Structure 1
């Protein structure tokens, strides 16, 4: 696992590094950046799994990093004293916002959200960001009908019929999505408001009929829970 810490205060950066190693293990690879420029450079050069980001970097705005790389496959945890920016950060899809000053327990809570499967974000996001050429396009959560896994990527199937490709995996997006989304199959997450009827097919197969007429597969292990939810 590769973790990038972007923090301009060396003392705090070392403290975050120590707590991170204590939570994970000594084998985790930790990269440190003390400025906006160095952080941007490292993200361009390295494939990271988790970003720990301060929002005030020697007077520069850490949100520039969040906005530039929000569509990337890694998850982001903000560690900042600027708690008034928490709502904006969550809207852009960060996994957690740890306010300064912080302790091991609070940071461990954030790391647990990163390591545990399923929904873990503590506040609903409003957008998913997709990269279109050199620009970032924000897709409103309300416009997503369902999400289909496509290897290390995902397909966002939208209400207007468009399909947008996202760099985050299905597992990563599941952590961020609000409670209105349900994992119905290993390859599908459904916007629950789009569910119409659960279909039992020949051979013990199950499908979900959507309000727009589409049919999505339902995993056998999910059938009972989904059936109960529809009642």
Structure 2
């Protein structure tokens, strides 16, 4: 027999949900309801219900926090608020009921739970994955071809990139190479902590920047540590104001 736990800080709403669930799904065992997040976690550990209906906003712990402890239970979120991570619930094959829950919507949820015989999703892993920062791998090497030869260039060696017609020119301390990659596409692949666009035609390596200079006409230039100068447009000058 399917065992169900209801956690809702509103006792009347918990009782109403229990009554309606029993009517729609007679073959269930309703566990004593709980009314805060801490008691909900304890009940999940003690009773290990098949399904837990969790209100999201509860005292003690939120329903989302409680769900992280529901490794062996399928979870249905019940809430009066619609701003939570719906995508997380879809990915975990759980349901999301928005208060006030109509009889038709609750019946739909019950039908889904009856048909879904898959094991309970690992909600803790899903929630942790959503909370984890997205890691990004930035471009480390460039391939420049010349005839039958391909030159491998470390991005760390680059002083700057310059747009040149349909090509982009790679400039290092001692060499120049052309690649068939537009400057805009290249910028999206570069670590923004190390590279910045300073002009519509230039991307510079920030560790190579020595100072910013302004001429008599007010035009600004990026001076590299090796003495080379690059134009700095007004639209890109703000990032250097503290230099």
- TM-score bucket of the superposed structures, by smaller chain: 0.3 to 0.5
Larger radius of gyration: 2
With CA pairs under 8 Å and 6+ residues apart, which has the higher RCO, 1 or 2? 1
Calculate the TM-score normalised by the size of structure 2: 0.46
When you count strand as a share of all residues, which structure comes out higher? Answer: 1
Calculate the TM-score normalised by the size of structure 1: 0.48
